[in-house]
Structure 1
Amino acid sequence: MRLVDAFARTARCYPDRPAVVTDDGRRFTYDELDERSTRLATALRERVGSGRCAVLSLNSPVAVEAMLAGNKRGVATLQLSYRVTPTALVEMAEAGAARALVFDDDNADAALELLETGSFEAAIHAGDRPVDHPEVESYESVLADASPDLPPGLPEGDECAVLYTSGTTSTPKAVLFDQEQLWYGAVQGVMEHGIDETDVALCTTPWYHMVTTDAWLYPHFVAGASVVLHSEFDPAEALELVAAHDVTGVLAVPTQLRALNDVQREAGYDVDSLAYIRTGGAIVTEELVADTSEQLSDQVYNTYGMTEAGPDLTFAHPRAQEDHPGTVGKEAFSWEIRVVETAPLSADPDPDATVDPGKRGEVIARGPGMSDGYIDSPVAEEQSYFDGWLRTRDVAEKDEDGYLYIVDRVDNMFISGGENVYPAEIERVIESHPDVEEACVFGLDDEQWGSVVSAVVVTEADLTEDEVEAFCRGHDSLADFKRPRTCTVTDEPLPRTDTGTLMRERLVERYVGE
């Protein structure tokens, strides 16, 4: 099934239900959202034919309407990040071959820079801010003048979205999805979370990310539920929205969850309506699950996914985490996941070389929701996609019951004295210290050992490097070669992407460069 057909069914069944509610009080029913997205689809076809449209916007109805309009055209919407550099924006738009650009007030300056490339045939501004550019049209005027009926021949294809990887080490890679691939992710979300038309979801993560698109927006639209769009994350404002709209579900990455828990602990907002919390995107500790269960909801879902394959490779339901703390769960219904002996990037891993329970290997996955590859990175595509499988580059292990545990990224591992060291293991230990906010571990070149463990520890307490090292020495789970040999204590937050992924290279440059 295609997402365009799934949304048409929702609009027929629940025309008067609120589809989108904004944090500034605007409200659009499914019938209104259906008409507005149709008008945008016809307007874009008049201006750029079958050309793709890029969108640069905060979480807003405009972003949602553009997604739906793309589906109705059968032409992918480029979901651009507003947090990358101007150079990266140009590269992202060029990789996806965008011919139209839709943007909001908050991103007008970046959009005008992007228009200077001369690559766009149409530009549409949604907002009240004056924009001095002769080729930019008003979004509401464009919709008012457009036909409310789709012309014959639409949708003309099955494209859905161009989504972008996190880009922690380079320019984000462009990944093209069709409507059936993302439909699988949407339906998995509906099934696993039990979403129906009575639900109200709070959207706090940026709309342009895979997890927001296919784990949150599309599942709720497919089910006929309501989505409250939080334009930019603020923990107190998010909790106010939960209380004001009787929100039933929240998607938040671990860094956001910690902030929500901290505010809720002090302010005590009315969050009784919350039925569940979904998280993932970074390591979810037992302590975070316990704190979230106490502050927000005891129904915490830990999930595992990636841009190239969708957000729903695995689900760890609350009941599973009770007996298997730290797990990301088992493979979702349309996926096959194996943990196999890893291989260098120059060679494909053997799908049949699975490791025994308790042993570590690399996660590979396949399923109908997987993308076909990168638009703009043939070398990376050759290294990641093989024989219908996707290499995740994640190190993991399964227990005897088949539950998956993510250890670290293959690329983060380093060797000290001939032993493999996975930074995430050590980070979890350091972060279990009651005064530590977060930590990053990496290998520091050493003439004798090859590399030694180095740590950057974030705390607001009066914690010393010696105390951190003593804490690690006293922890039974850390072998001697895994203990930090150097440690930097700081009160500056670690650099992360907006999905919570630690930007290790930037951090190493910051501290080792000093």
Structure 2
Amino acid sequence: MRLVDAFARTARCYPDRPAVVTDDGRRFTYDELDERSTRLATALRERVGSGRCAVLSLNSPVAVEAMLAGNKRGVATLQLSYRVTPTALVEMAEAGAARALVFDDDNADAALELLETGSFEAAIHAGDRPVDHPEVESYESVLADASPDLPPGLPEGDECAVLYTSGTTSTPKAVLFDQEQLWYGAVQGVMEHGIDETDVALCTTPWYHMVTTDAWLYPHFVAGASVVLHSEFDPAEALELVAAHDVTGVLAVPTQLRALNDVQREAGYDVDSLAYIRTGGAIVTEELVADTSEQLSDQVYNTYGMTEAGPDLTFAHPRAQKDHPGTVGKEAFSWEIRVVETAPLSADPDPDATVDPGERGEVIARGPGMSEGYIDSPVAEEKSYFDGWLRTRDVAEKDEDGYLYIVDRVDNMFISGGENVYPAEVERVIESHPDVAEACVFGLDDEQWGSVVSAVVVTDADLTEDEVEAFCRGHDSLADFKRPRTCTVTDEPLPRTDTGTLMRERLVERYVGE
């Protein structure tokens, strides 16, 4: 099934239900959202034919309308990040071959700079800010002049979106998805959370990410639920929106969850309506789940996915986390997940070389929701896709019951004294200290040991390096060779992407230098 057909069904069944509510008080019903996205689709077809449209916007109705308009055209929408550099924006737009650009007030300066490349045949500005550019049209004027009826022949294809990897070590790579591929993720979300038309979801993570698009927006639109768009994350504002709109579902990466918990602990907003909280994108500790259960809701879902394959490779329900703490769950429906012997990047893993329960290996995955590759990085594609499988580059193990536990990224591992050290293991231990907010572990070059374990620890308490090292020495689950030999304590948050991924190289440069 295509997402365009799924949304048409929702608009028929729930035309008067609120589809989108903004944090500044605007509301759009499904009938209104359907008409506005159709008008945008017809307007774009008039201007760029079958050309793709790039969108540069905060979480807003404009972003949602552009997504739906792309589906109605059957032409992918380029979901650009507003947090990357101008150079990266140009590369992202060029990789996806965008011919139209839609942008909002907050991103007008970046959009005007992007237009200077001369690659766009149409530019549409949504907002009230004056924009001095002869080729830029007003979004509302464009919609007002466009036809509310789709012409024959639309959708002309099955494209849905060009999504981008997090780009922690390089320019984000472009990944093309069709509507059926993302349909699997949307249905997965509906099934796992039990979403229906009575639900109200708060959208706090940037709309352009895979997890927001396919694990949050599309599932709720498919089910006929309402989505409250939080333009930019602020924990107090988010909790105010939960209380004001009787929000039932929240998507938040671990760093956001910690911030929500901290504010809720002090302010005590009415959050009794919350029925499901989805998290993932970074390590989810037992302590975070316990704190979230106490402050917000005990219905915390831990998930595992990636841009190239969708947000739902595995799903850990609240009950699974109680019996199997730390798990990201079992493989989701329509997916096959294997943990196999790790191979170098120059060789493909053997899908049949699965490791035994409790042993570590590399996660590979396949399923109908998987993309077919990168549209701009053939070398990276060759290293990631093989024989219908996707290499995740994640180290993991399964227990006797088949539950998956992510250990770390293959690329993060370093060797100290001949032993493999996975930073995430050490970080989990350090972050279990009640005064530690977050931690990053990495290897420092050492003549004797090859590398020594080093840590940067974030806290707002009066915690010393010696106390951190003593805590690690006394922790039963941490072998001696994994203990930090050097430690820096700071109150500065660790650098992360907006999906919570730790930017290790940037952190090492900050504290160690070149």
Task: Give the drift of 1:2.
Answer: 0.3
Q: Secondary structure at the match of 1:494?
A: coil
Task: Give the drift of 1:374.
Answer: 0.2
Question: How far, CA to CA, are the matches of 1:108 and 1:191 in structure 2?
Answer: 38
Question: How far, CA to CA, are the matches of 2:476 and 2:325 in structure 1?
Answer: 18
Task: Give the drift of 1:475.
Answer: 1.0
Task: Give the drift of 1:235.
Answer: 0.4
Task: Give the drift of 1:276.
Answer: 1.0
Question: How far, CA to CA, are the matches of 1:489 and 1:352 in structure 2?
Answer: 44
Task: Give the drift of 1:506.
Answer: 0.3
Task: Give the drift of 1:466.
Answer: 1.4
Task: Give the drift of 1:92.
Answer: 0.3
Question: How far, CA to CA, are the matches of 1:47 and 1:41 in structure 2?
Answer: 10
Question: How far, CA to CA, are the matches of 1:231 and 1:117 in structure 2?
Answer: 28
Task: Give the drift of 1:471.
Answer: 1.1
Question: How far, CA to CA, are the matches of 1:192 and 1:386 in structure 2?
Answer: 29
Question: How far, CA to CA, are the matches of 1:338 and 1:150 in structure 2?
Answer: 44
| Structure 2 match to 1:314 | 314
Describe how 1:74-473 pairs up with structure 2 within 5 A: 74-473=74-473
TM-score normalised by structure 1 residue count? 1.00
Task: Give the drift of 1:107.
Answer: 0.3
Task: Give the drift of 1:437.
Answer: 1.0
Task: Give the drift of 1:470.
Answer: 1.2
State the Cα deviation string for residues 373-414 of structure 1 (Å, max 9, x = none).
Answer: 001000100000000000000000000000000000000000
Q: Secondary structure at the match of 1:407?
A: strand
Question: How far, CA to CA, are the matches of 1:437 and 1:198 in structure 2?
Answer: 36
Task: Give the drift of 1:511.
Answer: 0.9
State the Cα deviation string for residues 94-143 of structure 1 (Å, max 9, x = none).
Answer: 00000000000000000000000000000000000000000000000000
Question: How far, CA to CA, are the matches of 1:467 and 1:184 in structure 2?
Answer: 48
State the Cα deviation string for residues 460-494 of structure 1 (Å, max 9, x = none).
Answer: 11211111111111111111110111111111110
Q: Secondary structure at the match of 2:233?
A: coil
Task: Give the drift of 1:436.
Answer: 1.0
Question: How far, CA to CA, are the matches of 2:397 and 2:177 in structure 1?
Answer: 29
Question: How far, CA to CA, are the matches of 1:268 and 1:22 in structure 2?
Answer: 23
State the Cα deviation string for residues 247-299 of structure 1 (Å, max 9, x = none).
Answer: 00000000000000011111010111111101000010111101111111111
Question: How far, CA to CA, are the matches of 2:438 and 2:273 in structure 1?
Answer: 30
Question: How far, CA to CA, are the matches of 1:435 and 1:64 in structure 2?
Answer: 40
Question: How far, CA to CA, are the matches of 1:187 and 1:461 in structure 2?
Answer: 44
Question: How far, CA to CA, are the matches of 1:37 and 1:252 in structure 2?
Answer: 27
TM-score normalised by structure 2 residue count? 1.00
Structure 2 gaps of 5+ residues are none
Q: Secondary structure at the match of 2:365?
A: strand
Runs of 4+ with >6 A deviation? none
Question: How far, CA to CA, are the matches of 1:474 and 1:372 in structure 2?
Answer: 47
Question: How far, CA to CA, are the matches of 2:89 and 2:396 in structure 1?
Answer: 33
Question: How far, CA to CA, are the matches of 1:269 and 1:454 in structure 2?
Answer: 39
Question: How far, CA to CA, are the matches of 1:222 and 1:435 in structure 2?
Answer: 42
Q: Secondary structure at the match of 2:375?
A: coil
Task: Give the drift of 1:339.
Answer: 0.3
Task: Give the drift of 1:335.
Answer: 0.3
Equivalenced residue count is 514
Q: Secondary structure at the match of 2:345?
A: coil
Question: How far, CA to CA, are the matches of 1:457 and 1:244 in structure 2?
Answer: 36
Question: How far, CA to CA, are the matches of 2:86 and 2:465 in structure 1?
Answer: 38
Question: How far, CA to CA, are the matches of 2:505 and 2:146 in structure 1?
Answer: 47
State the Cα deviation string for residues 201-243 of structure 1 (Å, max 9, x = none).
Answer: 0000000000000000000000000000000000000000001
Q: Secondary structure at the match of 1:420?
A: strand
Question: How far, CA to CA, are the matches of 2:511 and 2:356 in structure 1?
Answer: 38
Residue 490 of structure 1 pairs with residue 490 of structure 2? yes
Q: Secondary structure at the match of 2:274?
A: coil
Question: How far, CA to CA, are the matches of 2:269 and 2:479 in structure 1?
Answer: 43
Q: Secondary structure at the match of 1:338?
A: strand
Question: How far, CA to CA, are the matches of 1:297 and 1:192 in structure 2?
Answer: 17
- Higher mean alpha-carbon deviation, 454-463 vs 500-509, is at 454-463
Question: How far, CA to CA, are the matches of 2:488 and 2:190 in structure 1?
Answer: 44
Task: Give the drift of 1:433.
Answer: 1.1
Q: Secondary structure at the match of 1:11?
A: helix
Structure 1 gaps of 5+ residues are none
Task: Give the drift of 1:495.
Answer: 0.1
Task: Give the drift of 1:29.
Answer: 0.4
Task: Give the drift of 1:75.
Answer: 0.3
Question: How far, CA to CA, are the matches of 1:405 and 1:478 in structure 2?
Answer: 17
Task: Give the drift of 1:417.
Answer: 1.1
Question: How far, CA to CA, are the matches of 1:482 and 1:226 in structure 2?
Answer: 47
State the Cα deviation string for residues 325-353 of structure 1 (Å, max 9, x = none).
Answer: 00000010110000000100110000000
Question: How far, CA to CA, are the matches of 2:462 and 2:269 in structure 1?
Answer: 31
State the Cα deviation string for residues 140-179 of structure 1 (Å, max 9, x = none).
Answer: 0000000000111110100000000000000000000000
State the Cα deviation string for residues 173-202 of structure 1 (Å, max 9, x = none).
Answer: 000000000000000000010000010000
- Higher mean alpha-carbon deviation, 165-174 vs 453-462, is at 453-462
Q: Secondary structure at the match of 1:256?
A: helix
Question: How far, CA to CA, are the matches of 1:267 and 1:459 in structure 2?
Answer: 21
Question: How far, CA to CA, are the matches of 1:114 and 1:79 in structure 2?
Answer: 14
Task: Give the drift of 1:363.
Answer: 0.4
Task: Give the drift of 1:304.
Answer: 0.4
Query: What is the Cα-based RMSD across aligned positions, in Å?
Result: 0.6
Q: Secondary structure at the match of 1:262?
A: helix
Question: How far, CA to CA, are the matches of 1:145 and 1:481 in structure 2?
Answer: 68
Question: How far, CA to CA, are the matches of 1:495 and 1:213 in structure 2?
Answer: 23
> Percent identity over the alignment?
99
Task: Give the drift of 1:458.
Answer: 0.8
State the Cα deviation string for residues 56-94 of structure 1 (Å, max 9, x = none).
Answer: 000000000000000000000000000000000000000
Question: How far, CA to CA, are the matches of 2:125 and 2:196 in structure 1?
Answer: 34
Question: How far, CA to CA, are the matches of 1:260 and 1:147 in structure 2?
Answer: 43
State the Cα deviation string for residues 350-378 of structure 1 (Å, max 9, x = none).
Answer: 00000000000000000000000001000
Question: How far, CA to CA, are the matches of 1:286 and 1:485 in structure 2?
Answer: 25
